[in-house]
Structure 1
Amino acid sequence: MAETWKAEGLGVRAIARRLNEAEIPTKRGGEAKWHATTGQRLLDNNARSARDRARKKEETRRTRATKILGGIR
């Protein structure tokens, strides 16, 4: 469904809106709503998994901390 809307030229915000209007449940279910970022990740063939994103975020934090605290003893 979302792939068809993307092929029709709809942006990720419009796709998220349609998914919410159609009451398509998210992975979390319940009252959770679709967001543009989630739709973009869903449609992106090169998207990284949540675990990969978390690992990259942690690497970035450690690199920044090392730069800031590296010279302090």
Structure 2
Amino acid sequence: MGIEARNTEINETSLRNVVKQSILDRINNIEKVVNDLYEEKRRREEAQRANQNETESVNSSASSSSSYII
């Protein structure tokens, strides 16, 4: 194999490696975005549950208090 052929092979291998790394980087970025979205969804659901529990507690207290009014 001549020097030019070897250099071409090395360049093609390097290019393939760059493309592979670029694809892996994009996959990792997508995975991070998906994980961030799931985390945001979890936090919102948790806050919604906390707000719902607080509302139910306030409503329950108001209902109990009004039963003592004559």
TM-score interval for Structure 1 and Structure 2 normalised by the shorter chain: 0.3 to 0.5
> Which structure is higher in helix share?
2
Using structure 1 for the length normalisation, give the TM-score. 0.31
Which structure ranks higher in relative contact order (CA pairs < 8 Å, sequence separation ≥ 6)? 1
Larger Rg belongs to: 2
